[in-house]
A and B are shown apart, each in its own frame.
Chain A
Amino acid sequence: MRLPPFQYLEPTNVEEALSMISAHKEMAKIMAGGTDLLNRMKLRLIEPAFVVNIGKLRNMDGIDIGDAETIIGANTRLKDIAGTALVNKRFRAIAEAAFQVASPTITNMATVGGNLLQNTRCMYYDQSGMVLSGLERCHKRGGTVCLAVKGSKRCFSVYQGDMAPALIAFDARCVLEKKGSTRTVPITELFTDNGVSPFAIGADELLTKILIPKPEGIYSSAYRKLRLRGSVDYPLASAAAFVSVTNDKKVTTCRVVIGAAGAAPKVIDGASREADLEGIAQKAYDHAEGVDNLKMPGAYRRKMVSVLAKRAIQAAIEDIK
């Protein structure tokens, strides 16, 4: 499939990138690795007038592991996150998520920022024009119906990014810059939970950094994901768990975040003071949306969200031992 026409812009620094997106706003799309954006363009799901390639901005790249906080540049390749020993040690769920996104040829290109801001997906939406021309226009395409849930007044497309659940499990925040101002928000606040427009980001804003606080005490984390093919697929259900314990191994925090279970990752039970496996699994099931709009049946995916929540907690606890 060929790409639609566009004008190509290549800023040489962040300030220039901010000027470009400020000038073109909704008419421009930001490209980092391009692995997700170019596919959406090939399908004609989006046809931006301008593509702003920030992929070469090296000062948005890299991992700085500090005593109090770790800073990951939005342009950092997923392979570098998965391959950094200290990230694996301190933020295991984040490294596991990056490792599981796709095969190395994809993660050599794909960035953490791009994965975080990956649009929601649905089998009635992520299709070529030929397929879509035979379908009624759904909410996500500006219409008034949902083809996945007949009669629904809202969109049921699914957020399938791998990095967000893991980053949220660590209470990560991100830096959004625009011309003349900068704001730092928790990653949970990037999401609207509305499948039609899933992100609460202005068209003139650029995600530049991710900030992860260093957790206190003894802790570990894990990320688990369901997919058909181990090498490429988006998660069909996922869960990240963060567990911290006292010196005598009593759980002080157990935070679980589920993914591919709605239009946004969902935090289960905030920060429970015990790793109540069955209770959290039930809550994960209750919070998950299981709709027949991805490659596996919705009812199965919903059950697997609770299974993966348990497995992630168990893996984190096992790692602490």
Chain B
Amino acid sequence: MNEMKKTAITLNVNNETYDIVTYPNRTLLEVLRDDLHLTGTKESCGEGVCGSCTVLVDGTPVRSCLTLAVAAQGKEITTIEGLSVGEKLHPVQEAFVNHHAIQCGFCSPGMILTSYALLKENPRPTEIEIRRALSGNVCRCTGYAKIVEAVKSLAEGGN
């Protein structure tokens, strides 16, 4: 068994600074959920295929299950908890609710964050661009149509 020492790291998550002491082999997903109790980020496949663990790192959607927490220092991390303001949902979340784009909800944090990043970069994406952007997020319930509709409603300038 290899040697390993705990190390002190500082993470900036949803504009808040967290100082924690952890092992270097822990993924960002594990630290977000188990240490910071931000359980909106979900673990599913754990191997970068399904997209349920998607978070934004410096505004870009990435797999938190394939990101080391220690390597995420110095970056701005946004989780699903960072989108709403108090009880007020973000427009992307509102659109998912209004278009019934949520069933079991397990993929929703990843879907919403990926959609949010897409709309920031490209406020008027075409359907093909929406589908391409969301191609790394698996949903086993909706069949995707409602999710695409929700994002399209925002791309067209509101719902």
Contacts and interface: CB of A to CB of B under 8 A. Distances in A.
B2 A3 contact: no
B49 A104 contact: no
Contacts, number: 93
B58 to A, nearest CB: 10
Given A34-B67, A34-B68, A105-B51, A5 B46 contact: no
Given A6-B25, A8-B70, A103-B136, A109 B63 contact: yes
A38 B25 CA distance: 10
B66 A49 contact: no
B71 A55 contact: yes
Contacts of A231: 135-136
Interface in A132-165: none
A104 B46 contact: no
A10 B71 contact: yes
Nearest to B9: A8
A8 B66 contact: no
A230 B138 CA distance: 12
The bracket for how many chain A residues form the interface is: 20 to 34
Given A103-B136, A105-B136, A4 B61 contact: no
A53 interface: yes
Interface in B29-60: 30, 46-49, 51, 54, 60
B159 to A, nearest CB: 24
A49 B67 contact: no
Contact of B62 (A7, A8, A56, A109): A109
A4 B4 CA distance: 10
A10 to B, nearest CB: 7
Nearest to A79: B60
Contacts of A6: 2, 4, 24-25
Nearest to B23: A5
A176 to B, nearest CB: 24
A181 B25 CA distance: 32
A106 interface: yes
Contacts of A65: none
B114 interface: yes
A38 B53 CA distance: 15
A7 B63 contact: no
Nearest to A33: B66
Contacts of A55: 71
A106 B63 contact: yes
Given A49-B2, A53-B71, A39 B61 contact: no
A105 B114 contact: yes
Interface in B92-137: 114, 132-133, 135-137
A108 B62 contact: yes
Contacts of B63: 35, 105-106, 109
B3 A49 contact: yes
Contacts of B62: 105, 108-109
Given A35-B66, A108-B61, A109-B67, A7 B24 contact: yes
B90 interface: no
Contact of B54 (A35, A42, A105): A105
B25 A4 contact: yes
Contact of A53 (B30, B68, B135, B136): B68
A68 interface: no
B136 A5 contact: no
A42 B71 CA distance: 17
B7 interface: yes
Given A2-B25, A42-B47, 19 more contacts: A3-B25, A3-B27, A6-B2, A6-B25, A8-B68, A8-B70, A8-B71, A10-B70, A34-B68, A35-B63, A38-B68, A48-B2, A55-B71, A103-B135, A103-B137, A104-B135, A105-B62, A108-B61, A232-B136
Interface of A: 1-8, 10, 31, 34-35, 38-39, 42, 47-49, 51, 53, 55-56, 102-106, 108-109, 230-232
Question: 8 closest A-B pairs (Cβ-Cβ)?
Answer: A103-B136, A8-B24, A5-B4, A231-B135, A3-B25, A105-B136, A103-B135, A5-B2
Interface of B: 1-5, 7, 23-27, 30, 46-49, 51, 54, 60-63, 66-68, 70-71, 114, 132-133, 135-137
